[in-house]
Amino acid sequence: EALTRPAALSLVSALSPNNPLLFENRAGNREGTLVAFAVAEKEVHADKVLLIRCGDFYEAYGLDALLLVEHAGLNPMAGRARAGCPVANLQATADCLTSAGLTVAVYEEVEPARQATVGLKGPVRRVAAAGGKGIKERRLSQVLSAGSPTYLHDRCLSPHPIDYSAPRPYAALAKAADGYTLVHVFVDERTYHVHRRLSLPALRSLLAARPHAPPLLLGGSADAASSAASWLPAERRRLAVKSASRLAAAAVAHVAAEVQLDAATFSAAPSSPAGRHAPPRPVYVTTASQVGLLPAAGIPDLPRALLPRTAPAESVELLRRLLLLPPRPAIADALRSACEALGAATGPLPLVRPLPVGKMVRLLSARQANAHFFRDLAQLLGGTSAAMADEALRSLNERLLVVVADEAGAVAASPHQLAEAAAAAHETIRSLLELDAPPGQFGSPLELGDVESPPQQQQAGEAATAGATSSSSSSAAAADVAGSSASASASASAS
């Protein structure tokens, strides 16, 4: 892709072929310097943009600096192939890079006095501090990509809510004898979905209904995508797998390596059955555009027109997905029965505001959940427990849990079991945090100065994870279904 910014074009002549960074190092290759560290890390992560913490800034060198100038609109430092951004602007800068399809490796300084190693990965390297006043250690903190763009370092003590937007999944495609195989890999949720025996129109509808992060991963023979080449995205990458039956494993392994995660932590969502139990064919892309399921000029948005004006965006998107990709008959029957039970309900419904599963998994697994997150999680768990324990809602709950089990690939629990698990996780959080504390305050029952807060919050996360994960996934999907018919607060991404 051609460079467009004059500032980026001016850096081309400043690049040097002497090292993997393409950075002209005037100080030489002395061990222990920041540039020497960057060169060594670039040899390991040649396909990533390196952003390295240096005091109050994150810096990039050589080709990485050129990409920073081109895509993030920054200016080079002193006319050299060197650029950076303040710590406060890291997320915005990384978003510019990941939106352009780039992968970013972020490195943090590790202060020995604080032993700040929570969430950091890889070997620690010592780098001379500025002015020769000491030795600083740096370590890879997180790899950001279009499929997982949110940076979560040092968030567990933040007094502010943690912003999160559900990212697009990665997609892998291969052609088999019985049709196309498409795999969606959700990085933050640590799950992947396999769609088999797709016709060409069904494949096109599925890709349109669920936009993916670049690049499109291709497996199978070289001509696997030839018949669909006219409308497939131009940015593609080939996987070293020839059989469509091995596409899922190859796609998960590739994505996990790309973002420095363990492929074994990803779990498969259930595949749709074949035969008379299979779901109906997806709506054709042209039809979906004409009726307003997909964006089209001059055509109103159908799901928004069907739901009340106050319906949350998550409920709108869930209805859109159900119309674009109809569920199999058993799930469609459960959804219809749930809507009937919801319409027949006469009493008030417990307030449940689900958390996106991707946000929950990311924060808890990285041990970066803060007090705001745990209060939100506790509210979710309390509402779930109240809803599942309400005998007047038993019919609704039983049908929603059928849908949840199919969406999440979990074993269907009874309303009583889910109510108990949610209540236990809620009590664990309540015992460690003051849930009614004013916004912006931690409100821990223990004084903040008397405890090491990161381990305290880690303890809450570890103790609550088992019950919270299953119950919030369940209530999130359940509230989505309820919201699409009655404008309840929901989160479709949690499904």
Give the strands of the sheet with 135-144, arranged side by side: 82-86, 57-61, 49-54, 104-110, 135-144, 121-128
Mean pLDDT to the nearest integer, 469-478: 46
The yes-or-no verdict on residue 472 having pLDDT over 50 is no
pLDDT tens digits, one per residue of 61-108: 999 999 999 999 999 988 889 999 999 999 999 999 999 999 999 999
> What is the percentage of the chain residues whose pLDDT exceeds 90?
50
Mean pLDDT of all residues in 105-133: 59
Which position has the higher pLDDT, 451 or 469? Answer: 469
pLDDT tier at 451 (50, 70, 90 boundaries)?
A: very low
**DSSP designation for 392:** G
Average pLDDT across the chain, whole number? 82
The Cα–Cα gap between 419 and 416 comes to: 5
397 pLDDT band, cuts 50/70/90, is very high
Residue 246's pLDDT is what?
A: 93
User: Residue 72: its pLDDT value, please?
Assistant: 95
- How high is the pLDDT of residue 457? 45
Q: 88-94: long-range contacts (C-beta < 8 A, 24 or more apart)?
A: 90/51, 90/58, 90/151, 91/150, 91/151, 93/51, 93/58, 93/68, 94/51, 94/144, 94/149, 94/151
pLDDT at residue number 313? 80
Structure tokens at 194: 């396999």
Q: What mean pLDDT do residues 403-412 have? A: 78
- Amino acid identity of residue 488, one-letter, is A
Per the structure block, which two tokens stand in for 444?
């821990």
* Distant-in-sequence, close-in-space partners of 287: CB < 8 Å, separation ≥ 6: none
Asked whether residue 473 carries a pLDDT value surpassing 60, the answer given is no
Radius of gyration of the chain (CA): 25
> Residue 281 has what pLDDT?
85
Q: What is the pLDDT of residues 191-239, one digit of tens each?
A: 999 998 888 888 888 898 889 999 999 997 655 566 666 788 888 899 9
Strand partners, 173: 182, 218
Strand partners, 268: 192
Fold of 6-144: MutS, DNA mismatch repair protein, domain I (3.40.1170)
Share of the chain above pLDDT 70, in %: 80
The per-residue pLDDT for range 321-372, each reduced to its tens digit, is 899 989 999 999 999 999 999 899 888 888 888 788 899 999 999 899 999 9
Q: What is the pLDDT of residue 437?
A: 57
Average pLDDT over residues 148-161: 90
Strands 179-186, 135-144: pairing kind: unpaired
pLDDT at residue 416 in the model: 92
**Would you state the pLDDT for residue 126?**
52
User: What are the boundaries of each domain within the chain?
Assistant: 6-144, 170-316, 329-436
Are the C-beta atoms of residues 216 and 203 closer than 8 Å to each other? no
pLDDT of residue 445: 35
